[in-house]
Amino acid sequence: MLLIADTGGLITAFNRFSSNNAAAQEALFAASVAVVTPLVMLEVEHIMTRDFGRQAAYSVTDWLLKSAQQQRVVVPEIPVATLQEARMVQNRYADLDLDLTDAVNVVVAQRYRTNRLLTIDERDFRGIRPLSHHEAFHLLPADGPGG
């Protein structure tokens, strides 16, 4: 199973104090590949540094880089065309006030032909229809492994 990893989903998977930690870790580690955009990596490092300190942030970044070497994590390039399409998603769902990272994840999900997102941001992603043929996003860990 391939999934797109969002900022909150990754932080939850690495935050042992989170009530959803075990479920987020299970979803992340069950994935054959997790796609983590550079925007998500930047947000994760910023939030982890702010909330848990620089060493915690480095630990997560190191894990992501090691997993990328093992081909369990993919860090895709984000060309201008992807950013432009993400802006169109932001405009289409203006009432959700999406940040660029979430909108890029929607576009990247289409590129990888998946509707599976590791996220705790249910409000936004339940309100967005995937750009692919899928009816809705399958949010992990909330929706469980099926679907």
Question: pTM score, two decimals?
Answer: 0.95
Give the pLDDT confidence of 120-130 residue by residue, as tens digits: 999 999 999 99
Please check whether the domain covering 2-140 is classified as CATH 3.30.9.10: no
Cα–Cα dist 37/51, whole Å: 21
User: pLDDT (tens digit, 9 = 90+) per residue, 40-55?
Assistant: 999 999 999 999 999 9
Domain ranges for the chain: 2-140
Write the CA distances from 45 to 18, 31, 55, 144, integer angstroms: 17, 22, 10, 27
User: What is 75-110 written as a DSSP string?
Assistant: -----HHHHHHHHHHHHHTGGGT--HHHHHHHHHHH
Using DSSP's 3-state secondary structure scheme, residue 135 falls into coil
